[in-house]
Amino acid sequence: MEFCDKYHCADCCLEPKVPLLNEDIDRIIMHGFYDAYFVDEDQGIKTVRQRDDGTCVFYNKLSGLCEVYPSRPERCKLNPYTICKDNLEPEVDRACKHCNQCNKDPVSEKRMSEYLVTLEKEIEWRRRTGHF
Ligand code: SF4
Ligand code: SF4
């Protein structure tokens, strides 16, 4: 999220829907958090837990910073890239208030595509095996 760092913006941490890859979970556990603290799961889709007010469980409301920043989920690192709901292609998130300063980035697009493939494979495997 170097882009977000640059603008000192954490808006996407206030009400995030952040899917977790297995490697994200392993990395955050190594960072010092139990998975029972931060992982929510619904029908094979694992996401970062949100507090009752919608904020990410890792968002520090006092500092405005992410408590697992070096180990944050890949999805957070990919901001402000998202997936277009119409054609399911990677694109800059137009809801990002700084996206007008973000050029199209083929490297981020490729990373987002690879991320999606991995995520879909993991979700499919969990649903098929019932192994959550
Ligand atoms: S993990 Fe960190 S960067 Fe990602 S939404 Fe939560 S607080 Fe924000
Ligand atoms: S993607 Fe945009 S709106 Fe979201 S935290 Fe980063 S700079 Fe802020």
Q: Which helix (H) or strand (E) holds 119?
A: helix 106-129
Token pair for residue 60? Answer: 């520090």
* Sites in the chain below the pLDDT cut of 50: 1
- Given this model, what pLDDT does residue 94 score? 85
For the stretch 64-81, pLDDT in tens is 999 999 999 999 999 998
Give every CB contact of residue 18 below 8 A, 6+ residues apart in sequence. 47, 48, 56, 73, 75, 76
Tell me the CA–centroid distance for residue 54 and ligand 2, in Å: 16
The predicted structure's pLDDT at residue 2 = 76
Nearest to 111 by CA among 84, 68, 82: 82
Check if 80 has its Cβ closer than 6 Å to any atom of ligand 1: no
pLDDT at residue 47, rounded to an integer: 97
66 lines ligand 2 (CB under 6 A): no
Range of the domain at 112: 2-129
Q: What is the pLDDT of residue 90?
A: 87
Cα distance from N-terminal residue to C-terminal residue, the chain: 28
Give me the pLDDT at residue 108, please.
87
- Give the pairing of strands 39-42 and 65-66: unpaired
Q: How many domains does the chain have?
A: 1
At 14 the pLDDT is 96
